[in-house]
Every structure is written in C-alpha cells, then in structure tokens.
Amino acid sequence: MNEKRERGFTLVELIVVLVILGLLSAVVAPRVISRIKGGKRTAAQLQISNFGEALDMFAFDVGRYPSTMEGLHALLEKPAGLENWNGPYLKKAVVPKDAWGKDYVYRSPGQHGEYDLTSYGADGVEGGEAENADVVSWQ
C-alpha cells in the first residue's frame, strides 16, 4: 500500500492559530487606540503652541492681539485699519482645524490671559474629562 499522504493543516490547528491571534489582538488593540487618541491631543497642543507664536508676532507688529471678532483669520488677512500688520503670520492659506477636524475657539481678551485658544477635544463640547477634555492655550 503506497498511500500518498497530503500535507496541510488540520481544522484543530487552524482554530488554535485563530484563537491565539484573537487573544493577541484583544491585548494590543486597546493600546494602539489609546496611542492614537493621545497623539491627537499632542497634535492639538502643538498646533495651539504654533498659533501662540503667530499671535505673538501679530501683537508685536500691531501692538495688540486680534480681537475675538477678528479671530484667527487676522493672522492671514489684514483687518481693516491696521497699519503695522506684516502678515500673513501662518504658513498655510487657511486657518487649520484641530486634530478632530473642528474649529479652534479664540477669545481676546481671554479669561486666562491676553487671549484664550481652545480645542474642545474629541467630543467637540466645552469641558469634558480624559480623552474628551479640552486642549487649551493657558495650561
């Protein structure tokens, strides 16, 4: 009897491999997701810092920060009546949105300083905790 024995995986071996892969993904996936969320918060903090530098340059040239009404667009386009405006103060032709694709909230004068610049975070609502917490210019 000369039987050819076919080589391959048995159903049990395939199930064992799938169970191992499932366990690994259950352990690794939450860590990856938390890193992504933390990365967005860091990106928003860096962007707020960059806005701060541009706002400081505006204030140096003009003698004041843009008003709430002028907003962050004053960093790109000269507001009416400003003689010493030497912009644009941002590299891009549009005001960037936060890491979640929403507009930053700018107020001047601010409650915490010359200006307050805020991203409402992942939930897009003022306040919040943990990954939904606001990212602000004064902290």
- pLDDT at position 63 is 92
80 against 33, higher pLDDT: 80
Q: Which of 127, 124, 75 is nearest to 98 (CA)?
A: 124
How high is the mean pLDDT of the chain?
85
128 against 5, higher pLDDT: 128
25 against 65, higher pLDDT: 65
Q: Place 66 in a pLDDT band, splitting at 50, 70 and 90.
A: very high
- pLDDT at position 139 is 79
- pLDDT at position 26 is 80
- What pTM value is reported for the model? 0.70
Residue count of the chain, please give it. Answer: 139
Cα dihedral angle (99, 102, 108, 113), rounded to 10 degrees? -30
Which of 10-14, 41-45, 49-53, 93-97 bottoms out in mean pLDDT, i.e. has the lowest? 10-14
6 against 93, higher pLDDT: 93
The DSSP string of 79-125 is: PTT-SS-----SSSSSPPP-TTS---EEESS-SSSS-EEEE-TTTTS
- Write out pLDDT tens, residues 15-35: 888 888 888 878 777 776 666
The residue assigned the tokens 């993904």 is 25
Whether the Cβ atoms of residue 104 and residue 98 lie closer than 8 Å to each other: yes
Burial class (CB in 10 A: 0-12, 13-18, 19+), 60: exposed
Q: Does domain 13-136 have CATH number 3.30.700.10?
A: yes
Q: Where are the domains of the chain?
A: 13-136
Q: Is residue 115 predicted with pLDDT exceeding 90? A: yes
DSSP label of 5 = P
Q: Is residue 5 predicted with pLDDT exceeding 70? A: no
